[in-house]
Structure 1
Amino acid sequence: MATAAPTVAACWERLPAEWRTERMLMAAGLVLAAIFLVAFCLVVSNVVRSAERQHEAFTAVAPAQVVSSIGNP
């Protein structure tokens, strides 16, 4: 027989009483926010690093092409 998924209230009641205090909930929220912030910064850092590599590769090739096109009208 299939059982229904537990409701939020049922999950809340299963937590120990000391975890259900306002201070603990705020601490848990801050921890989750910090984890999200670190993950977001890592993603942004990787995107910027990738863009810098592509820009360096592009600028390394461009001057040679410009010089050869100037020499050969």
Structure 2
Amino acid sequence: MEEIEAKFLEAVKKEFAKSGGANGIDHNVYDPILKMTPDEKQEFFKQLIREKKIVQINHLNGISFTLPK
């Protein structure tokens, strides 16, 4: 699980650096990394948000995740 978290956070950091924190990663990026069921992904994201490792961005077209500013 720690490997998956490290890969996910690396993808988030890469997008954060690229966009300056304006955009996060969406399901097209993290689905191939996580390979989890929707319920498992939801719990995974909740845990990272509680630990303040990521924040959720609510867009008109869905949600994405980025690093806290």
| TM-score above 0.5, yes or no | no
Bigger radius of gyration: 1
Compute the TM-score of the two structures, normalised by the length of structure 2.
0.29
Structure 1 or 2: larger helix share?
Answer: 1
Compute the TM-score of the two structures, normalised by the length of structure 1.
0.27
